[in-house]
Amino acid sequence: MRSRFISRVSWGKAVSDDRSLYRVIEPSQGWKALRWRELWAHRELLFFFVWRDLKVRYKQTALGAAWALVQPLAALLIFSLVLGRVVGVPSEGVPYPLFAYTALVPWTYFSSTLTQATNSVVRQAHLIRRVAFPRLLIPASGALTGLVDLILSLLPVPVLWALYGSGPSWRLLTLPLWLLLAVAVALGAGTWLAALNVRYRDVRHLVPFLVQLWFFATPVVYPSRLVPAPWRHVYALNPVAGVVEGFRWALAGAPPPTAVLAVSTGAAALLVVSGVIYFRHAERAFADVI
């Protein structure tokens, strides 16, 4: 039946000169590709989403963007006192505050992006019911917007260097790679949770537990060396572990994350690819179920 109709359409003379503007609307079948072309056509809109989120984020706040520093710094204070001083957690020969802060920076980015992404799509329900655009832009812009906070929260790092008598090294140049990995992990987990939350609002209630568990499963406040060797590869399946160790290596000169890195990066790639594919599949029905 479908093919008969197509044959009826003669693609000869165009109504609009630009044939690329032709749009065919029909039920999609199965798991289609990611529709890259549609995403690429909306790259400017992604920029606008990020721009809007940044504009809105700190409007009518007294501290403005300084809030980006408050959360990791407060966490740093608590963990340095409790774990660094009182408990005396080993920190790979790096002063504990520097050890913890260089991991708290990517962790804060990851946890806040995850929490925010979960609700992001549902929060834009009105837009989704009324306007057509790739819904992937919503979690994607969340992951990019958080990046600005992440970069801001790097500002205290030189202060910590000065305090503890260390400084930058050539390893700092690898930071963009770790940032990329962080975005990939946050986007991967965020797309999964955001899409699931549209269908099952329970996800929103699960996320705080998930984030808490994830925190302890990630070497933020302790070194991954504390994990028994046979378990370390399982442990490395947590893609955030790779991100955190990478940051710590680049910024604080901790041992290189060689053991964790390969598995972590693989897990990160798997997470982001599956997350984006699942989201792109699910987003076609968002307007109906949201």
Q: For other proteins, give the closer residue by CB, 85 or 129.
A: 129
37 lines the binding site for other proteins (CB under 8 A) = no
Q: Residue 35: how many CB atoms within 10 A of its CB?
A: 14
Counting every residue written for the chain, the total comes to 290
Least gap, CB of 66 to other proteins (angstroms): 19
Q: Which stretch binds other proteins (CB under 8 A): 42-50, 68-76, 179-187, 272-280?
A: 42-50
How far is 66 from 55, CA to CA, in rounded Å? 14
Site map (CB under 8 A) of other proteins, residues 175-214, x = contact: ------------------------xxxxx-----------
Q: Which residue has the tokens 């994607």?
A: 140
Site map (CB under 8 A) of other proteins, residues 99-138, x = contact: ---------------------------xxxxxxxx-----
Q: For other proteins, give the closer residue by CB, 195 or 227.
A: 195
* Residues 6+ away with beta carbon under 8 Å from 68: 148, 149, 150, 152, 153
How far is 137 from 281, CA to CA, in rounded Å? 14
How far is 86 from 80, CA to CA, in rounded Å? 9
229 lines the binding site for other proteins (CB under 8 A) = no
How far is 165 from 259, CA to CA, in rounded Å? 28
Instruction: Name the site residues for other proteins (rule: CB under 8 A).
Output: 2, 5, 9-10, 12-16, 18, 21-28, 44-45, 48, 51-52, 55-56, 59-60, 126-133, 199-203, 284-285, 287-289
